[in-house]
């Protein structure tokens, strides 16, 4: 299997993990060699209710017996899409009631950028240093790190990258700006939480200039930071909200959400000015609706805050310079890159899957499932501390 994997699957690094997965359940991934791995990154914030939650599996099986793909999204009335849209809308502000379902986060961000440009009639776009919004051309254009952008230049024109969490820089937002896109908490950029005052100043500047404010909550959404959506921490509501990852309960799904006034521009000049074949797939929407019910009924936003408190109390070590973030989106800052590489490798060998971020070689991302049992959480922390102890001795 490994040989076929290397020959026929397009690899994304020179040294893939190449773990042969047999199955996954709850907080664990089971490998074909018999090992059991604690998934401490939740498939990069996807499996927030764990792998193969029974409620999600039941919803998938029920929808499989009804129908799969019928028609491109937005033309047929498909019950799973409408049911989930109503459920999600009931948890959102009045200005975020209309949604366009996609397959992925980068596709959601692409749609949000198009919607902002078409509604405003402007072309300028603003993003922030160290941001990450996806790898397709439009999303990459507003991703704030040149090491990923430069190999694919030229990207979209009229994009300005500003310093993150810097109020003075917001003066660059003007009446030529179609939109400003930001993560409420930067994920790949190092789990960076901005000041509440900066978020409010950003909202005010967009209001002043008529620029559309887009919040990319692909990673921060669905209770991971301790509220259903991270924007709730800051008391600021975006004009467009983009979602993916945990939204589908393990199935591929994304969305961008706004008010009907903006989406009306997609219906004319020309009609069907934004379409997707598989966005809002009925099986994914059925799974998403079940997953949202689980998040709410099991109060997993509150559980995320409990996990954060537990991690901050227990995960203390002289090799750790900082634990930052919110809820179950935390960053463990280590003293140097060599320590990080060794710790991540040692933890994997001992049964804990950790992840670094694209933008930092000294920050380990900690993003366990929100319903991870406390004994499994402690087992993972014990392994991390043991790996850090060995580095200190060395």
Q: Are residues 293 and 304 in the same domain?
A: no
Pair 290, 324 in one domain:
no
The answer to whether residues 75 and 61 belong to one domain is yes
Task: Decide which of 297, 312, 346 is a domain's last residue.
Answer: 297
Q: Which of 267, 297, 327 is the last residue of a domain?
A: 297
How many Cβ atoms from other residues are within 10 Å of residue 295's Cβ? 24
How does pLDDT run across 71-126, given as a tens digit for each residue? Answer: 888 889 999 999 999 999 999 999 999 999 999 999 999 999 999 999 999 999 99
Question: What order do you get walking across the sheet with 21-25 strand by strand?
Answer: 21-25, 28-31, 36-39, 352-353
**Per-residue pLDDT, 95:** 97
Alpha helices in the chain (DSSP H): 2-8, 42-45, 54-64, 79-89, 105-120, 137-141, 146-149, 196-209, 260-263, 282-297, 300-314, 337-349, 374-393
Q: Are residues 154 and 100 in the same domain?
A: yes
Weakly modelled stretches of the chain, pLDDT under 50? none
How many domains does the chain contain in total?
2
| 171 and 74 share one domain | yes
The CATH number that applies at residue 113 is 3.40.640.10
Residue whose tokens read 């009306």: 264
pLDDT tens column, 14-67: 888 889 999 999 999 999 999 999 999 999 999 999 999 999 999 999 999 999
The two three-digit tokens of residue 168, written as one number = 């003075």
Region for 35 from its dihedrals, namely left if φ exceeds 0, alpha if ψ lies in -120 to 50, beta otherwise: beta
Query: In whole angstroms, what is the distance from residue 306 CA to residue 126 CA?
Result: 35
CATH number at residue 374: 3.90.1150.10
Residues 60 and 151 both lie in one domain: yes
Which of 277, 297, 317 delimits the end of a domain? 297
- Which pLDDT value is given to residue 384? 98
Domain of 389 in residue numbering reads as 2-52+300-393
Please indicate, yes or no, whether residues 164 and 223 belong to a single structural domain of this protein: yes
Whether residues 169 and 141 share a domain: the answer is: yes
Handedness of CA 115, 120, 124, 126 (dihedral sign): negative
Query: 219 and 331 share a domain?
Result: no
41 preceded by a cis bond (ω within 30 of 0)? no
């Amino acid at each position: 299997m490994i040989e076929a994997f290397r020959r026929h699957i397009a690899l994304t690094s020179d040294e893939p993990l190449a773990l042969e997965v047999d199955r996954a359940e709850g907080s664990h991934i089971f490998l074909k060699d018999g090992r059991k791995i604690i998934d401490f990154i939740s498939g990069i914030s996807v499996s927030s209710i764990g792998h193969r939650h029974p409620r999600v599996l039941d919803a998938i099986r029920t929808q499989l017996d009804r129908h799969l793909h019928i028609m491109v999204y937005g033309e047929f009335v498909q019950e799973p899409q409408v049911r989930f849209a109503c459920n999600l809308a009931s948890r959102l502000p009045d200005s975020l009631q209309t949604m366009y379902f996609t397959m992925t986060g980068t596709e959601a961000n692409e749609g949000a950028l198009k919607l902002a440009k078409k509604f405003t009639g402007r072309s300028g776009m603003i993003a922030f240093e160290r941001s990450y919004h996806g790898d397709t051309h439009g999303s990459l254009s507003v991703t704030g790190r040149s090491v990923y952008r430069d190999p694919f230049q030229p990207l979209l024109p009229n994009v300005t990258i500003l310093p993150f969490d810097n109020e003075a820089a917001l003066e660059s937002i003007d009446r030529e700006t179609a939109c400003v896109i930001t993560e409420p908490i930067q994920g790949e950029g190092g789990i960076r939480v901005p000041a509440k005052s900066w978020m409010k100043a950003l909202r005010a500047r967009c209001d002043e200039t008529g620029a559309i404010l887009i919040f990319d909550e692909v990673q921060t959404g669905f209770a991971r930071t301790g509220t259903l959506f991270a924007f709730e921490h800051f008391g600021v509501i975006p004009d467009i909200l983009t979602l993916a990852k945990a939204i589908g309960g393990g199935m591929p799904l994304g969305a961008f959400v706004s008010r009907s006034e903006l989406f009306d521009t997609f219906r004319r000049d020309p009609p069907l000015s934004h379409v997707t074949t598989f966005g809002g797939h009925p099986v994914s929407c059925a799974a998403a609706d079940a997953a949202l019910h689980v998040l709410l009924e099991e109060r997993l936003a509150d559980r995320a805050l409990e996990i954060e408190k537990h991690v901050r109390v227990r995960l203390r070590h002289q090799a750790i310079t900082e634990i930052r973030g919110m809820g179950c989106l935390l960053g463990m800052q280590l003293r140097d890159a060599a320590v990080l590489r060794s710790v991540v490798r040692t933890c994997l060998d001992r049964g804990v899957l950790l992840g670094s971020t694209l933008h930092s070689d000294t920050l380990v991302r900690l993003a366990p499932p929100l319903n991870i049992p406390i004994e499994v959480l402690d087992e993972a922390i014990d392994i991390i501390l043991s790996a850090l102890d060995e580095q200190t001795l060395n």
